[in-house]
Amino acid sequence: MTRVLLGEDNPVLLREIAHALEIHGYEVIQASEGQCIINYLSESDRKPDIIVSDSTLKDAAHQPISHYLTTSEAVHGIPTLFMVAFNAISDIRSMTRNDDYIIKPFRTDDLTAAIENKLRRIYRTGVSG
């Protein structure tokens, strides 16, 4: 079962996305703040297969979690997919590849397809990110 670390600061949206992913057979670890993602990655022995996070989440120092997820050694080798509001797309494009984000709002099928495509590319090429 694919383990997804899901970061979203809107509690309703977090529950809805987590529930939809669970229905599709994913194991979901929920994080309502960027710092929760950092804590999970540093403290847990059970690393996720992929991190799906809202690009606007912040860490404890109010820095964008996207910076941590693209630069931290703790994340090395874990694919990351950012959920990005349409008006923030130019911010995230400068630091990611096109398959590193999905634009909000999205359908669950689009998210699961993005996750599967990302994982397939990673495992086929051996390039993480």
Q: Which residues pair with 30 in a beta bridge?
A: 6
pLDDT of amino acid 119:
94
What is the CATH superfamily name and number for domain 3-125?
Response regulator (3.40.50.2300)
Residue found by looking up tokens 């996207």 in the block: 66
pLDDT confidence bin for 125, thresholds 50/70/90: low
Indicate the length of the chain as a whole number.
129
The residue extents of the domains of the chain are: 3-125
Q: How far, CA to CA in Å, does 121 sit from each of 65, 100, 115? A: 23, 11, 10
Residue type, 75: V
Please report how many Cα atoms fall inside a 13 Å half-sphere around the Cα of residue 109, on the Cβ side.
Answer: 0
Q: Which helix (H) or strand (E) holds 110?
A: helix 108-125
Max Cα distance, the chain (Å): 36
Closest to 8 in 3D by CA, of 38, 34, 42: 34
- Kindly report, residue by residue over 42-77, the tens digit of the pLDDT: 999 999 999 999 988 998 899 889 888 888 888 988
| Pairwise pLDDT comparison (124 vs 39), residue with the higher score | 39
Q: Which of 18-22, 41-45, 50-54, 100-104 has the lowest mean pLDDT?
A: 100-104
